Structure 1
Amino acid sequence: MANDILSKENIVLNEKAATKEDAIRLAGEILVNKGYVEESYVDQMFEREKITTTYMGNYVAIPHGTEDAKKAVNHSGLSIVQLREGVDFGDGNIAKLIIGIAGKDNEHLEILSQIAIVCSEEENVEKLIQAEDKETFISMFNEVN
Protein backbone atom coordinates (compact mmCIF):
# COMPACT_ATOMS: atom_id res chain seq x y z
CA MET A 1 0.00 0.00 0.00
CA ALA A 2 1.48 3.34 -0.98
CA ASN A 3 2.90 5.34 1.92
CA ASP A 4 0.91 8.42 0.97
CA ILE A 5 -2.32 6.45 1.52
CA LEU A 6 -1.43 5.37 5.07
CA SER A 7 1.18 7.22 7.11
CA LYS A 8 1.83 7.28 10.85
CA GLU A 9 0.04 10.63 11.09
CA ASN A 10 -3.16 8.91 9.92
CA ILE A 11 -3.21 6.50 12.87
CA VAL A 12 -4.55 7.26 16.35
CA LEU A 13 -3.78 4.77 19.10
CA ASN A 14 -5.84 3.99 22.20
CA GLU A 15 -8.55 6.56 21.49
CA LYS A 16 -11.96 6.60 23.14
CA ALA A 17 -15.33 7.19 21.48
CA ALA A 18 -18.68 7.23 23.29
CA THR A 19 -20.75 6.61 20.16
CA LYS A 20 -20.26 5.28 16.65
CA GLU A 21 -20.85 8.85 15.41
CA ASP A 22 -17.88 10.01 17.50
CA ALA A 23 -15.78 7.19 16.06
CA ILE A 24 -16.77 8.03 12.48
CA ARG A 25 -16.07 11.73 13.09
CA LEU A 26 -12.58 10.90 14.45
CA ALA A 27 -11.77 8.81 11.37
CA GLY A 28 -13.23 11.45 9.04
CA GLU A 29 -11.41 14.37 10.64
CA ILE A 30 -8.05 12.68 10.10
CA LEU A 31 -8.89 12.38 6.38
CA VAL A 32 -9.90 16.07 6.29
CA ASN A 33 -6.87 17.28 8.27
CA LYS A 34 -4.46 15.40 6.01
CA GLY A 35 -6.06 16.86 2.88
CA TYR A 36 -7.45 13.60 1.45
CA VAL A 37 -11.03 14.89 1.49
CA GLU A 38 -13.10 18.04 1.82
CA GLU A 39 -15.07 18.65 5.04
CA SER A 40 -18.31 17.59 3.31
CA TYR A 41 -16.97 14.03 3.01
CA VAL A 42 -17.48 13.49 6.75
CA ASP A 43 -21.20 14.27 6.37
CA GLN A 44 -21.34 11.68 3.58
CA MET A 45 -19.74 9.13 5.92
CA PHE A 46 -22.69 9.67 8.29
CA GLU A 47 -25.11 9.34 5.35
CA ARG A 48 -23.50 6.03 4.34
CA GLU A 49 -23.88 4.77 7.92
CA LYS A 50 -27.61 5.61 7.84
CA ILE A 51 -28.07 3.59 4.65
CA THR A 52 -26.19 0.52 5.88
CA THR A 53 -23.76 -0.13 8.68
CA THR A 54 -20.07 -0.09 7.85
CA TYR A 55 -19.38 -2.61 10.62
CA MET A 56 -17.64 -5.51 8.89
CA GLY A 57 -17.33 -8.00 11.74
CA ASN A 58 -14.21 -9.07 13.62
CA TYR A 59 -14.25 -5.76 15.61
CA VAL A 60 -13.69 -3.74 12.41
CA ALA A 61 -15.74 -0.88 10.97
CA ILE A 62 -14.83 0.81 7.69
CA PRO A 63 -16.73 4.09 7.46
CA HIS A 64 -16.61 5.77 4.06
CA GLY A 65 -18.63 8.22 2.03
CA THR A 66 -21.57 7.62 -0.26
CA GLU A 67 -21.32 7.51 -4.05
CA ASP A 68 -22.10 11.27 -4.03
CA ALA A 69 -19.08 11.89 -1.80
CA LYS A 70 -16.60 11.01 -4.55
CA LYS A 71 -16.36 14.63 -5.67
CA ALA A 72 -15.18 15.56 -2.13
CA VAL A 73 -12.14 13.23 -2.40
CA ASN A 74 -8.87 14.96 -3.30
CA HIS A 75 -6.76 11.79 -3.26
CA SER A 76 -6.92 8.30 -1.79
CA GLY A 77 -6.20 7.89 1.89
CA LEU A 78 -6.83 5.85 5.01
CA SER A 79 -7.28 6.75 8.63
CA ILE A 80 -7.16 4.25 11.46
CA VAL A 81 -8.58 4.82 14.94
CA GLN A 82 -7.78 2.16 17.52
CA LEU A 83 -10.47 1.93 20.21
CA ARG A 84 -9.35 -0.74 22.68
CA GLU A 85 -12.54 -0.37 24.71
CA GLY A 86 -14.62 -0.49 21.55
CA VAL A 87 -17.77 1.33 20.55
CA ASP A 88 -21.18 -0.09 19.72
CA PHE A 89 -21.87 0.11 15.99
CA GLY A 90 -25.46 -1.09 16.49
CA ASP A 91 -27.01 -4.49 17.22
CA GLY A 92 -24.35 -5.14 19.85
CA ASN A 93 -21.56 -5.08 17.24
CA ILE A 94 -18.48 -3.69 18.95
CA ALA A 95 -15.88 -2.00 16.76
CA LYS A 96 -12.34 -1.58 18.06
CA LEU A 97 -10.68 -0.64 14.78
CA ILE A 98 -12.22 2.18 12.77
CA ILE A 99 -10.70 2.43 9.32
CA GLY A 100 -11.78 5.52 7.41
CA ILE A 101 -11.42 5.26 3.66
CA ALA A 102 -11.34 7.86 0.91
CA GLY A 103 -10.81 6.45 -2.56
CA LYS A 104 -10.11 8.44 -5.70
CA ASP A 105 -11.48 6.87 -8.89
CA ASN A 106 -11.61 3.14 -8.16
CA GLU A 107 -8.59 2.98 -5.88
CA HIS A 108 -10.83 2.38 -2.87
CA LEU A 109 -11.64 -1.13 -4.17
CA GLU A 110 -7.96 -2.07 -4.08
CA ILE A 111 -7.57 -0.48 -0.63
CA LEU A 112 -10.62 -2.36 0.64
CA SER A 113 -9.31 -5.68 -0.61
CA GLN A 114 -5.99 -5.09 1.19
CA ILE A 115 -7.82 -4.23 4.41
CA ALA A 116 -10.02 -7.30 4.00
CA ILE A 117 -6.97 -9.56 3.64
CA VAL A 118 -5.40 -8.23 6.86
CA CYS A 119 -8.63 -8.02 8.87
CA SER A 120 -10.01 -11.42 7.85
CA GLU A 121 -7.48 -13.02 10.21
CA GLU A 122 -8.61 -12.73 13.84
CA GLU A 123 -5.03 -12.81 15.09
CA ASN A 124 -4.15 -9.83 12.86
CA VAL A 125 -7.08 -7.83 14.20
CA GLU A 126 -6.15 -8.72 17.78
CA LYS A 127 -2.55 -7.65 17.11
CA LEU A 128 -3.79 -4.30 15.76
CA ILE A 129 -6.19 -3.76 18.67
CA GLN A 130 -3.33 -4.34 21.14
CA ALA A 131 -0.63 -2.55 19.13
CA GLU A 132 1.38 -0.03 21.12
CA ASP A 133 3.01 1.57 18.07
CA LYS A 134 1.94 2.84 14.67
CA GLU A 135 4.66 0.87 12.90
CA THR A 136 2.66 -2.31 13.54
CA PHE A 137 -0.21 -0.91 11.43
CA ILE A 138 2.09 0.33 8.68
CA SER A 139 3.95 -2.98 8.40
CA MET A 140 0.82 -5.15 8.51
CA PHE A 141 -0.97 -3.19 5.80
CA ASN A 142 2.15 -2.90 3.65
CA GLU A 143 2.91 -6.65 3.84
CA VAL A 144 -0.19 -7.35 1.77
CA ASN A 145 1.44 -6.31 -1.50
Structure 2
Amino acid sequence: MNEILQKRSVLAPGTASDRDAAIREAGGLLREAGAVTAAYVESMLEREASVSTYMGNLLAIPHGTNEAKGDILASALSFVRYDRPIDWGGNEVRFVVGIAGRGDEHLEILSKIAMIFSDGDAVERLLALPDAAALHAELSRAVEP
Protein backbone atom coordinates (compact mmCIF):
# COMPACT_ATOMS: atom_id res chain seq x y z
CA MET A 1 0.00 0.00 0.00
CA ASN A 2 1.66 3.21 -1.16
CA GLU A 3 -0.84 5.77 0.04
CA ILE A 4 -1.81 6.05 3.68
CA LEU A 5 -5.00 7.93 2.69
CA GLN A 6 -6.43 6.09 -0.30
CA LYS A 7 -9.16 7.57 -2.46
CA ARG A 8 -11.51 4.72 -1.55
CA SER A 9 -10.99 5.47 2.16
CA VAL A 10 -12.60 8.93 1.91
CA LEU A 11 -16.38 9.04 2.28
CA ALA A 12 -18.72 12.02 1.98
CA PRO A 13 -21.34 11.96 3.14
CA GLY A 14 -21.03 9.30 5.80
CA THR A 15 -24.15 7.35 6.71
CA ALA A 16 -23.73 6.94 10.48
CA SER A 17 -26.02 8.82 12.84
CA ASP A 18 -24.28 8.18 16.16
CA ARG A 19 -20.74 7.96 17.54
CA ASP A 20 -20.38 4.18 17.62
CA ALA A 21 -21.76 3.79 14.09
CA ALA A 22 -19.35 6.52 12.92
CA ILE A 23 -16.43 4.64 14.49
CA ARG A 24 -17.57 1.44 12.77
CA GLU A 25 -17.90 3.33 9.48
CA ALA A 26 -14.37 4.79 9.69
CA GLY A 27 -13.00 1.45 10.87
CA GLY A 28 -14.82 -0.36 8.08
CA LEU A 29 -13.04 1.83 5.52
CA LEU A 30 -9.71 0.87 7.11
CA ARG A 31 -10.72 -2.77 6.91
CA GLU A 32 -11.82 -2.47 3.26
CA ALA A 33 -8.41 -0.94 2.49
CA GLY A 34 -6.79 -4.08 3.91
CA ALA A 35 -5.16 -2.13 6.73
CA VAL A 36 -6.81 -3.74 9.77
CA THR A 37 -8.71 -6.79 10.98
CA ALA A 38 -12.26 -6.76 12.34
CA ALA A 39 -10.77 -7.05 15.85
CA TYR A 40 -9.05 -3.68 15.37
CA VAL A 41 -12.36 -1.99 14.60
CA GLU A 42 -13.78 -3.42 17.84
CA SER A 43 -10.75 -2.09 19.71
CA MET A 44 -11.54 1.39 18.33
CA LEU A 45 -14.88 1.15 20.16
CA GLU A 46 -13.13 -0.08 23.32
CA ARG A 47 -10.75 2.90 23.29
CA GLU A 48 -13.63 5.33 22.82
CA ALA A 49 -15.38 3.80 25.84
CA SER A 50 -12.36 4.63 28.01
CA VAL A 51 -11.26 7.98 26.53
CA SER A 52 -12.90 10.28 23.99
CA THR A 53 -11.11 10.79 20.67
CA TYR A 54 -12.89 14.10 20.10
CA MET A 55 -10.22 16.63 19.09
CA GLY A 56 -12.23 19.85 18.75
CA ASN A 57 -13.25 21.88 15.69
CA LEU A 58 -15.76 19.23 14.51
CA LEU A 59 -13.07 16.48 14.42
CA ALA A 60 -12.75 13.07 16.06
CA ILE A 61 -9.85 10.70 15.46
CA PRO A 62 -10.81 7.21 16.65
CA HIS A 63 -8.10 4.57 16.82
CA GLY A 64 -7.54 1.19 18.40
CA THR A 65 -6.09 0.24 21.74
CA ASN A 66 -2.41 -0.53 22.25
CA GLU A 67 -3.36 -4.19 22.68
CA ALA A 68 -4.75 -4.20 19.12
CA LYS A 69 -1.47 -3.16 17.43
CA GLY A 70 -1.15 -6.73 16.12
CA ASP A 71 -4.43 -6.29 14.24
CA ILE A 72 -2.92 -3.52 12.09
CA LEU A 73 -1.80 -4.95 8.75
CA ALA A 74 -0.66 -1.65 7.18
CA SER A 75 -0.67 2.04 8.07
CA ALA A 76 -3.75 3.82 6.80
CA LEU A 77 -6.19 6.64 7.45
CA SER A 78 -9.87 6.86 6.65
CA PHE A 79 -11.73 10.16 6.39
CA VAL A 80 -15.49 10.54 6.69
CA ARG A 81 -17.45 13.79 6.48
CA TYR A 82 -21.02 13.92 7.75
CA ASP A 83 -23.77 16.22 6.51
CA ARG A 84 -25.35 16.28 9.96
CA PRO A 85 -23.33 16.56 13.16
CA ILE A 86 -22.67 13.39 15.15
CA ASP A 87 -23.06 13.72 18.93
CA TRP A 88 -19.63 12.75 20.27
CA GLY A 89 -20.07 12.79 24.01
CA GLY A 90 -21.81 16.17 23.92
CA ASN A 91 -19.61 17.62 21.16
CA GLU A 92 -20.54 18.05 17.50
CA VAL A 93 -18.45 16.09 15.01
CA ARG A 94 -18.65 16.40 11.23
CA PHE A 95 -15.30 14.74 10.40
CA VAL A 96 -14.09 11.34 11.59
CA VAL A 97 -10.53 10.27 10.79
CA GLY A 98 -9.85 6.60 11.50
CA ILE A 99 -6.22 5.68 12.14
CA ALA A 100 -4.21 2.51 11.88
CA GLY A 101 -0.51 3.05 12.35
CA ARG A 102 2.41 0.66 12.13
CA GLY A 103 5.54 2.25 13.48
CA ASP A 104 5.61 6.00 12.89
CA GLU A 105 4.51 6.06 9.23
CA HIS A 106 1.19 7.78 9.90
CA LEU A 107 2.30 10.34 12.49
CA GLU A 108 3.49 13.03 10.07
CA ILE A 109 0.25 12.90 8.11
CA LEU A 110 -1.76 12.92 11.33
CA SER A 111 0.17 15.99 12.45
CA LYS A 112 -0.68 17.74 9.18
CA ILE A 113 -4.37 16.86 9.57
CA ALA A 114 -4.29 18.29 13.10
CA MET A 115 -2.81 21.50 11.68
CA ILE A 116 -5.57 21.73 9.07
CA PHE A 117 -8.24 21.35 11.76
CA SER A 118 -6.65 23.99 13.96
CA ASP A 119 -7.62 26.52 11.24
CA GLY A 120 -11.35 27.35 11.26
CA ASP A 121 -11.23 28.64 7.67
CA ALA A 122 -9.69 25.36 6.48
CA VAL A 123 -12.44 23.40 8.24
CA GLU A 124 -15.06 25.57 6.51
CA ARG A 125 -13.39 24.86 3.14
CA LEU A 126 -13.54 21.10 3.82
CA LEU A 127 -17.22 21.40 4.74
CA ALA A 128 -17.93 23.22 1.47
CA LEU A 129 -16.26 20.69 -0.85
CA PRO A 130 -18.83 18.88 -3.00
CA ASP A 131 -17.87 15.22 -2.59
CA ALA A 132 -15.37 12.56 -1.48
CA ALA A 133 -13.20 12.98 -4.57
CA ALA A 134 -12.76 16.70 -3.88
CA LEU A 135 -12.02 15.97 -0.22
CA HIS A 136 -9.39 13.38 -1.15
CA ALA A 137 -7.75 15.80 -3.60
CA GLU A 138 -7.67 18.61 -1.02
CA LEU A 139 -6.39 16.39 1.79
CA SER A 140 -3.76 14.81 -0.47
CA ARG A 141 -2.40 18.25 -1.37
CA ALA A 142 -2.36 19.25 2.28
CA VAL A 143 -0.56 16.16 3.57
CA GLU A 144 1.97 15.53 0.80
CA PRO A 145 5.57 15.61 2.03
Amino acid at match of 1:96: R
How many percent identity over aligned positions? 41
SS for the counterpart of 1:124 is: helix
What root-mean-square deviation, in Å, do the aligned CA atoms of Structure 1 and Structure 2 show?
Answer: 1.7
Deviation readout 1:40-85 (Å, 9 max, x if unpaired)? 1001100110111001000000000111111111111011111021
Query: For the Cα contact (< 8 Å) 1:118–1:140, is it kept in 2?
Result: no
How many residues matched? 143
Amino acid at match of 2:34: G
Which 5+ residue runs of structure 1 have no aligned equivalent? none
Q: 2:102 aligns with which of 63, 83, 104?
A: 104
Which 5+ residue runs of structure 2 have no aligned equivalent? none
Q: Distance in 2 between matches of 1:64 and 1:3?
A: 21
Amino acid at match of 1:114: K
Residues 1-145 of structure 1 mapped to structure 2, 5 A cutoff: 4-90=3-89, 92-133=90-131, 134-144=133-143, 145=145
The alpha-carbon distance between structure 1 residues 95 and 67, as it changes in their structure 2 partners (threshold 3 A), is same
Query: For the Cα contact (< 8 Å) 1:15–1:81, is it kept in 2?
Result: yes
TM-score scaled by length of structure 2: 0.90
